[in-house]
Chain A
Amino acid sequence: MSNETLVQVEHLTRYYSLTCAVNDVSFELAKGEVMGFLGPNGAGKSSTMQMITGNLAPSGGKIAIAGRDLLDRPRQAKQAIGYLPERPPVYRELTVNEYLQYCARLNRIPRKQISKAVGKATERCNLGEVGRRLIGNLSKGFQQRVGIAQAIIHNPAVVILDEPTVGLDPIQIREIRSLICELGREHGIILSTHILPEVQATCNRVQIIHRGKLVFSDSTAGMTQQLTTNSMLAVFQNTPPRDQLLQINGVDRVESLEDGRTRIHYKDTDPAEAVVEQAVSRGWRLTELTPERRTLEQIFIELTCSEPAPLESAA
């Protein structure tokens, strides 16, 4: 994985009259990274993406795409961006092939390479069979895929997808996810979504934005560590005495749950192996032992719901 920085966002701020939609957001995206952008509705995801793609002027801050400043050299910067907005920007009266050819020309693909680029994009998004059909007659899922094809047609360094899997059926979602993973190898990808498992399935970085502020930013690996908690659930047929469990090295606290299971909290060392050993030698008849994990959803809810709503939101 190279460390080439593709997107550099510094102190990005955007006001809608007095409402601050994006507040001092800074982050970087390197080549080979797939970044999931999470947040509740109205958190500023789409505004941030619109600013990175030049659809919205920031109130303050700096954006550089592949080392080119978006405000000073918009043309060069935009050449490196592929963008799929919330609503796919398709012309209903054109056929898929016509539309993609138009997009290819808009993105300054040399005339001779246009048909090749269109062919590659249709193949990648599985649009081959609908190439000659009018976009207006296609289903939402196909329109969405045409939108994705449009975003990747000029092989941009950065691909920005605003909720790419909305309106797709489960099979298409899987295809799009694998497409995103494939693209993620050579490009930098930012995708926003509400679907949390999608982030775990496709992204190697996660950012959570809430009320315009970045509240969480970590790699998926780092996030997995955050997700592991220091506890495990055990089911014993012969429930052992509490003090015997507490004697095991590392065990901090033992909790008996109502459904007959036992939650074992531990510190520093993972006592799983010792618990199993003891269970065998003392005949506790251990039938189940699961490490507990928090889900991304829990982190998300903790971060976005923990603080009490400020007073001004009532107005």
Chain B
Amino acid sequence: MIFTIAARELRSLFLSPLAWSILAVTLFILAYLFLSQIEGYVTLQPRLAAMDNAPGVADIVVAPLLADAAIVLLLVTPLVTMRVLSEERRNGTISLLFSAPVSMTGIVVGKYLGVLTFFLILLGLLALMPLSLLAGTELDLGKLAAGMLGLTLVVAAFVAIGVYMSSLTEQPTVAAVTTFGLLLLLWIIDWAGNTNLEASSTLAHLSMLRHYEPMLKGLFISTDVVYYLLVIALFIGFSIRRLDATRLQP
């Protein structure tokens, strides 16, 4: 049942020009970033060759690419998630789901997985860029895997937040703006406490960026993974409750 809803969601995404244009624009920008990183690597290469224990392609090309990809996806996710629940409510199609033998959890998780699958396709295409380096050089696949896992978790958390924001309103644009605001806030939240050490460590725990950076360096820390899983579970839980509440209040 969950997969039926997820499949419909994904199909509807690809039936609209939005998904295709987002794929095209995002990949174009990321490809440009990727090429400029390679350019930088090529100019650095003579000096790197002289160094002992020099950083490899994974550090100089892949890590910055994935760091930038997270920012680009932060901008793009709200555009994809904004209509996921709000449009159903606005068009009245939500009553199809409400009067079908499907639980609220089924509806929300199905929708979530549908949108997430879209982003996994995007990430799969993105992963091909660093992998293409294998044709000409050696690549630290472990670091790439850690980075891609990190990016996947980041995007999964983005989508969960987006789905929740979409459940709050019937206006897709409002959902997009609030999603973007919350994502950006969670990204930069640790900037505030620079002067106060105690506060900054608490805020750093909340920051999405702080939990992403270690993975780009190839460090796989279980607290980081737990952080993202908690964010995902929390916002999916919120969405389920919120959708349930739409039946309670006028």
- A residues contacting B by CB (< 8 A) are 16-17, 50, 53-57, 74-76, 78-79, 81-83, 85-87, 89-91, 93-94, 102-103, 105-108, 150
Contacts and interface: CB of A to CB of B under 8 A. Distances in A.
Find the residue from B94, B99, B247 having the highest chain A CB count within 10 A.
Answer: B99
B166 to A, nearest CB: 16
Interface of B: 1, 4-5, 8, 11-12, 15-16, 91-103, 247-248, 250
B92 A89 contact: yes
The 9 closest A-B CB pairs, nearest first, are A89-B96, A83-B99, A16-B250, A106-B100, A53-B99, A87-B92, A89-B93, A105-B4, A78-B101
A53 B95 contact: yes
Given A86-B92, A91-B93, A106-B100, 12 more contacts: A16-B250, A53-B98, A57-B248, A78-B100, A82-B99, A83-B95, A85-B92, A89-B92, A93-B12, A103-B100, A106-B101, A150-B96
Contacts of B102: 75, 78, 106
B94 to A, nearest CB: 8
A200 to B, nearest CB: 28
A93 B99 contact: no
B247 A108 contact: no
A42 to B, nearest CB: 13
B95 A55 contact: yes
Nearest to A88: B92
Q: Which residue of A17, A85, A150 has the most chain B CB atoms within 10 A of its CB atom?
A: A85
Contact of A102 (B4, B92, B95): B4
A86 B4 CA distance: 25
A115 to B, nearest CB: 15
A90 B93 contact: yes
18 contacts: A16-B250, A54-B247, A55-B98, A75-B101, A78-B99, A83-B95, A86-B92, A87-B91, A89-B92, A89-B94, A89-B96, A91-B93, A102-B8, A103-B96, A103-B100, A105-B1, A105-B4, A150-B96
Contacts of B1: 105-106, 108
Nearest to A15: B250
B50 to A, nearest CB: 58
A74 B95 CA distance: 14
B250 A17 contact: yes
A13 to B, nearest CB: 14
B4 A107 contact: no
A99 B121 CA distance: 24
A107 B250 contact: no
Nearest to A87: B92
B250 A55 contact: no
A103 B101 CA distance: 11
A230 to B, nearest CB: 46
Contact of B99 (A54, A86, A90, A94): A54
A83 B95 CA distance: 9
Question: Considering residues A85, A93, A105, A106, which has the most beta carbons from chain B within 10 angstroms of its beta carbon?
Answer: A106
B92 to A, nearest CB: 4
B1 to A, nearest CB: 7
Given A76-B101, A106-B97, A91 B250 contact: no
A85 to B, nearest CB: 5
A85 B95 contact: yes
Contacts of B12: 91, 93-94
A78 B250 CA distance: 21
A156 B102 CA distance: 15
Nearest to A83: B99
Contacts of A103: 96, 100
B87 to A, nearest CB: 10
Contacts of A105: 1, 4
